[in-house]
Structure 1
Amino acid sequence: MGCGRNNNIGGTSHHHEGCVCEVVKTILDIQNQAVNDDCDGCGTSCFLEPLGGLAFPSRQQADTRVFMLLNTNGLPFFAWYKSKLGGMHPSPFFRVEDAFDCCATLRVVAPVDMSEGDEVSLLNEDETGLSLCLIPDVCDFKKTETCLTVDLSAFAGVQCIKDTNLHICD
């Protein structure tokens, strides 16, 4: 698959790393281990354990914590993936596959709609980027084979969206 799964970050030095680095590394740890802790007070905290806890109020089988990275203007970062709808489409949704220093390998996650479970095209009208007004139509996610490596220090925020089962090992 080429996305660098199952690499443990234990023992990695976390000196002088920013908040985004720490959050993404924590998401990776949560995805890579089975932890049975009670929910904390913030139902959408990126630090909520175990995986599946964002599916409040009940936990479900999950292998992924889907999140968005936000730039300094609060806008979502997005990447292009080859869509089953045909062509290239943007998505602001990611799964962390590996983290090292303040870099991470991310898998692009395709958005899926509420009605039929089909991919949602988030392409804007001029087909050059992301249409933010279409994001509310997203209720679920599918894995893609598109991965990229990013410098986490380039982002100002992380917004955790949903814990879901992308059937990563299937």
Structure 2
Amino acid sequence: MSKRKDDFDFNCVCKAVQNIKDLQDAVEDNCPTSCFSDLLSPANFVGDTIPFLLYTKKGDLFKAFGNIGELRGGECFKTPFFRVEGIDGCCATLSLLRPIGVDFCETDDICNVERLVKTDFCIEVDLGCFCAIQCLDPRLVTNFFRGQESVASVEDSVEVEVEDVQEDDDDNFGGRRRRRR
């Protein structure tokens, strides 16, 4: 006898996000000899975040915006990278991870992301609206200095601002160069 779709308590995305939250909580509880810390720390890297991407039922990458209105300093940003902060059934609170490229500037090119920086910008989502999740390497979530874990607030770890404006035909930022301040 096969199961109907309605017989499942959660979809696979809900289960995956709940498992990620459990792993993150186990590491945050400072249990140094557990198998959970080994899962997040395959090479003695101590991290507390499993970053992930979500895909809509149409197969599109889900994205959210942080710092809309630029009221907290820094620029508004768009990201498809998330960290689970809380989960209740299939409803989750996700914090936005700011993507940083090889030149220490924000990037929209997923394949050129070198680091993800934690922020305190969050979004509430219904995980039942997604059909796929892709977990990423926890080592992506670091500060600009390799080997250091990023802090919970982007204001404390990194701010990317426009410091000077230069005209440059090869520049992908419309003539503006962004530098770490």
TM range (shorter): 0.5 to 0.7
TM-score, structure 1 as length reference: 0.67
Counterpart AA for 2:78: P
Is the 2:90–2:128 contact (alpha carbons within 8 Å) kept by the matching residues of 1?
Answer: yes
Alignment coverage as a number of residue pairs: 130
1:54-93 matches, cutoff 5 A: 58-82=43-67, 86-93=74-81
Q: Which amino acid aligns with 2:9?
A: H
- Partner of 1:136 in structure 2? 111
Q: CA deviation at 1:30?
A: 0.3
Q: Which runs of 5+ in 2 are unaligned?
A: 1-7, 28-32, 142-148, 157-181
Provide the identity percentage: 31
2:99 paired residue among 111, 114, 121: 111
Q: Structure 2 residue aligned with 1:152, among 113, 124, 127?
A: 127
1:63 aligned counterpart, secondary structure = coil
Q: Tell me, in whole angstroms, the C-alpha distance in 2 between the residues paired with 1:24 and 1:74.
A: 18
Deviations 1:70-127 (A, max 9, x none): 1123321000012799432210000000000101000000011124xx24232xxxxx
Assess, with a 3 A threshold, how the Cα gap between structure 1 residues 63 and 85 changes in structure 2: closer, same or farther: same
CA apart distance, 1:67: 0.5
CA 1:52–1:19 in 2, change beyond 3 Å: closer, same or farther? same
Q: Which has the larger radius of gyration?
A: 2
Q: Which residue number corresponds to residue 106 of structure 2?
A: 120
The alpha carbon displacement at 1:144 in A equals: 1.4
Change in CA separation of 1:85 and 1:160 when aligned onto 2, cut-off 3 Å: farther
Instruction: Tell me the amino acid that sits aligned with residue 77 of structure 2.
Output: H
> Which consecutive residues of structure 1, in runs of 5 or more, have no partner in the other structure?
1-14, 39-47, 123-133
CA–CA distance in structure 2, aligned partners of residues 145 and 168 of structure 1: 7
Q: Which has the higher contact order (CA 8 A, sep 6+)?
A: 1
As a proportion of its length, which structure holds more helix?
A: 2
Equivalent positions of 1:33-72 (< 5 A) are: 33-34=26-27, 36-37=34-35, 50-53=39-42, 58-72=43-57
Check whether the contact 1:21–1:102 (CA below 8 A) recurs between aligned residues: yes
Whichever residue aligns with residue 113 of structure 2, its letter is V
Tell me by how many angstroms 1:161 deviates. 1.4
Report if aligned partners of 2:81, 2:98 keep a CA contact under 8 Å in 1.
Answer: yes
Partners of 1:59 and 1:74 in 2: how far apart?
A: 35
Aligned equivalents of 2:38 and 2:11: distance in 1?
21
1: distance between equivalents of 2:107 and 2:114? 13
Native 8 Å contact 1:63 1:167 kept in 2:
no
RMSD value, Cα = 2.6
1:29 aligned counterpart, secondary structure:
helix
